[in-house]
Amino acid sequence: MSDADDSARAEAQPRDGRDGENEGLANTTENRGSEAEEPAKNVPWGRPTAYTAVDGLSECYPMNRRPRGAALIFAHSKFDNKDLKPRPSAAHDAELVRGAFEALEFQPEVFLDLTRNDLEGKLSEVAKRDHSGCDALAIVFMSHGEVKPRNNMEFVWAKDDKIPTKELWINFTAERCAGLAGKPKLYFIQACRGPDVDKGVNMTRAVRGMAVQTDSIEEYVIPIHADQLVMWASYPGFPAFTSQREGIQGSVFIHFLAENLRNYALSSPRPSLSSILLKVSREVAVLYESDIDSQNQYHKNKQVPYIHSTLLREIYF
């Protein structure tokens, strides 16, 4: 294909861009402010009891059940709000993630373009399931992101309305979902987190000379927000990109996440999840640079995923 053809194709459909490229959505930082997460309501003062098969100081989570647990995949492509641009890669990204978690022997469930009520209803329904026979829960959410300027509280969009990002995990904390207490809950969020620009820094390599599960379980107490990992596609305040280059046919973060989860599912021995996600972050940060239009402020921008973790142990699938 000639340079002219490539240029015409870029004008017709940009190869890279912020996921959805919505205008007018406010900047964001981490989810904090006056509307921070609240403990479960109507729970008597004191500690609820949950049962576990792992010693409190064990270094690894048990991962022996098949399927390991549910992998809920929420992908949004169309929105009632006309200020939100369609996300044409949503179905493709959902299929990538479905295949990756299926390879890891989770039980994927894919949901496309749910309304807020349907989304919240599904999360509530899953929280009420019997999770005694599973080892983990995974949730992948792909949509647009937004923030409330008054307190920097983050939101993600369902088909018809936005919800606080914390709603994706608040039903699964230890005191609300006893069946998942002590088990890892993994959340992966593909959504923009703000409009800041990251042009990166040139790095030059310096040359030398120059610049187990146990039979006897003791009782122990865990915090209600323990055993949780949230991985965002981008750093707080920055956009997440999509691309049609170099084998990527949708969200950059989802591409590298699914590729690494799927590839490591076939390896033996399998590395820890932390090392897999470290590789995902490294590949997104190093291998990807946006290529939009030389006059666009997001041309030649970088992206790095962001992890918040309260996991207490390593995960080996």
Query: Annotated active-site positions, please?
Result: 144, 192
Tokens representing residue 62 in the block: 């048990």
What's this model's pTM, rounded to 2 decimal places?
0.84
Among 92, 98, 171, smallest CA distance to 131 is for 171
Domains of the chain: 13-20+66-201+217-309 (3.40.50.1460)
Q: Residue 72 pairs with which residues in a beta bridge?
A: 109, 139
pLDDT over 70 (residue 134): yes
**Overall average pLDDT of the 296-306 stretch:** 93
The predicted pLDDT at position 35 comes to 44
pLDDT over 70 (residue 43): no
Give dist(CA 61, CA 207) in Å, integer: 41
Q: Minimum mean pLDDT among 40-54, 58-72, 190-204, 300-314: which range?
A: 40-54
Q: pLDDT (tens digit, 9 = 90+) per residue, 217-250?
A: 467 888 999 999 999 999 999 999 999 998 999 9
Helical ranges in 40-112 per DSSP H: 90-103
Cβ proximity of 175 and 224 under 8 Å: yes
Kind of pairing, strands 228-232 and 185-190? Answer: parallel
Higher-confidence position of 6 and 60 = 60
Q: pLDDT (tens digit, 9 = 90+) per residue, 168-223?
A: 999 999 999 999 999 999 999 999 998 887 888 887 776 665 554 444 446 788 89
Q: What is the CA radius of gyration of the chain?
A: 21
Give dist(CA 155, CA 147) in Å, integer: 6
Cβ proximity of 194 and 146 under 8 Å: no
Q: pLDDT (tens digit, 9 = 90+) per residue, 248-258?
A: 999 999 999 99
Cβ proximity of 213 and 163 under 8 Å: no
